[in-house]
């Protein structure tokens, strides 16, 4: 039998184990033109929380009692499609199933000899693309500028900071534990890292860390942390808004200081985005990220959880900040 994870109910507030349902189905069979795929690595990402609610968003919500989907690296174990052969590794948006069939649409072959397979869910997958394209297309960093990254120890944030350093920026990371801030400066080369959980006055901590003010704020979290950064931005600052994990689980829209006056006073650009807005630039971005990776200029952290049954809990743990870097489940 084939294990499958369905959306059992739409989370209210923080997701819980109860929102997911495990079932077993008949083993799938590849028809002509199809391949049979064995799931190797499953990506769990904060954005999936959005698809679990029924609210209108940039991608359609998951249906109740249907399999959840996310980025997956799989192995072709049977092929009735001439484009793929047994043993090929592929990545794509696939279902949370141990085995599944695909007609090959949307699958990308990946090379497992040069880099570990899990990297295709992270630094060379949507995570790396999100970091690179959000920073380059909206942040437009210039050497000598100051870049602040929130959620800096997360999968996207750690890549954003490293790219900032490669491009000659002063980079300040905000994260929620001393282990994380230590990692940001020692492993990822951030100039300064601030633990927002132990810092009482974030606004002045950022002012101290950014004596020339903040030119780019890559916002992964929203909320009060962002208020503190926005109080320190320079004229013509750019704010790519990548996520707002601090409020994804809120059942009512949280209140905060209105930002229109700040935007006008300093001519700030603030832009929400999802990586698919820049799909046309994926090849160029993957090429650049691969070069930096092979040159040793980019590094990454993964939290790898083991076992198909652990997928829901790994997702839930994202909202507790239990991951360092990209959270991946190895089957």
Residue numbers at the binding site for its own copies (CB under 8 A): 50, 55-58, 219, 222-223, 226, 235-236, 241-244, 247-248, 253-274, 277
CA pair distance 210, 204, nearest whole angstrom: 10
Two tokens, residue 218: 């890559």
Closest to its own copies by CB, 120 vs 217, is 217
Q: Which is nearer to its own copies, 101 or 263 (CB)?
A: 263
C-alpha span between 179 and 192 (Å, rounded): 14
User: Distance (Å, rounded) from C-alpha 318 to C-alpha 15?
Assistant: 10
Minimum gap (Å) between residue 251 Cβ and its own copies: 12
CB closer to its own copies out of 74 and 268: 268
CB-nearer residue toward its own copies: 265 or 306? 265
Take residue 15 and report the two structure tokens written for it.
């997701």
**Residue 306: burial class (beta carbons within 10 Å; 0-12, 13-18, 19+):** exposed
Find the shortest distance in angstroms from Cβ 250 to its own copies: 9
Residue with tokens 């007609």: 103
Q: Min. distance of Cβ 249 from its own copies in angstroms?
A: 11
181 burial via Cβ count (<10 Å: 0-12, 13-18, 19+): buried
SS3 90: strand
Number of Cβ within 10 Å of residue 288's Cβ equals 17
- Residue 151's region, left for phi above 0, alpha for psi from -120 to 50, else beta, is left
C-beta of 177 vs 262, nearer to its own copies: 262
- Between the alpha carbon of residue 65 and those of residues 10, 55, 288, the distances in Å are 10, 17, 40
Which residues make Cβ contacts (< 8 Å) with residue 84, sequence separation at least 6?
35, 76, 90, 104, 107, 109
- Residue 209 CB, shortest distance to its own copies, in Å, is 19
Q: For its own copies, which is the closer residue by CB, 81 or 130?
A: 130
- Smallest distance, its own copies to C-beta of residue 32, A: 37
Q: Which two tokens stand for residue 191?
A: 């100039």
Among all chains, which residue has been given the structure tokens 């989370």?
Answer: 11
CB of 138 to its own copies, least distance (A): 8
Question: Whole-number minimum distance, CB 35 to its own copies, in Å?
Answer: 33
* Residue (of 66, 117, 67, 73) closest to 93 by Cα position: 73
CA dihedral 183, 184, 189, 194 (to 10 degrees): -130
Residue 48 DSSP SS3: helix
Nearest approach, Cβ of residue 254 and its own copies (Å): 5
Taking the complex as a whole, the smallest distance from the CB of residue 232 to its own copies amounts, in Å, to 11
Query: Which residue lies nearer to its own copies by CB, 188 or 217?
Result: 217
When the beta carbons of 48 and 119 are compared against its own copies, the nearer one is 48
Q: Which is nearer to its own copies, 119 or 270 (CB)?
A: 270
């Amino acid at each position: 039998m084939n294990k499958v994870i369905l959306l059992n109910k739409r989370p209210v507030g923080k997701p819980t184990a109860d929102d997911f349902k495990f079932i077993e189905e008949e083993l799938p069979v590849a028809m002509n033109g199809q391949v049979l795929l064995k799931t190797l690595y499953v990506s769990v990402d904060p954005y999936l929380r959005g698809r679990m609610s029924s609210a209108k968003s940039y991608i359609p919500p998951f249906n109740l009692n249907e399999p959840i989907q996310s980025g997956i690296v799989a192995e072709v174990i049977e092929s009735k499609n001439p484009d793929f052969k047994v043993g090929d590794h592929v990545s794509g948006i696939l279902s949370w199933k141990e085995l599944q069939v695909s007609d090959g649409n949307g699958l990308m072959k990946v090379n497992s000899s040069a880099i570990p397979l899990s990297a295709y869910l992270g630094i060379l997958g949507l995570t790396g693309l999100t970091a690179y394209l959000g920073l380059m297309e909206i942040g437009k960093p210039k050497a000598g500028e100051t870049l602040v990254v929130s959620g800096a120890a997360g999968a996207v944030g750690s890549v954003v900071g490293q790219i900032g350093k490669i491009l000659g920026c002063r980079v300040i990371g905000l994260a929620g534990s001393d282990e994380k801030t230590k990692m940001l400066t020692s492993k990822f080369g951030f100039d300064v890292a601030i633990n927002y959980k132990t810092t009482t006055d974030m606004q002045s901590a950022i002012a101290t860390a950014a004596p020339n003010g903040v030119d780019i704020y890559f916002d992964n979290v929203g909320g009060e942390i962002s208020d503190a950064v926005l109080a320190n931005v320079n004229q013509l600052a750019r704010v790519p808004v990548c996520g707002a994990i601090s409020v994804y689980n809120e059942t009512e829209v949280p209140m905060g200081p209105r930002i229109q006056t700040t935007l006008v006073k300093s001519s700030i650009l603030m832009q929400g985005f999802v990586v698919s807005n820049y799909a046309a630039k994926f090849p160029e971005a993957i090429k650049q990220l691969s070069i930096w990776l092979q040159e040793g200029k980019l590094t990454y952290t993964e939290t790898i959880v083991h076992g198909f049954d652990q997928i829901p809990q790994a997702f839930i743990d994202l909202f507790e900040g239990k991951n360092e870097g990209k959270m991946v489940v190895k089957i």
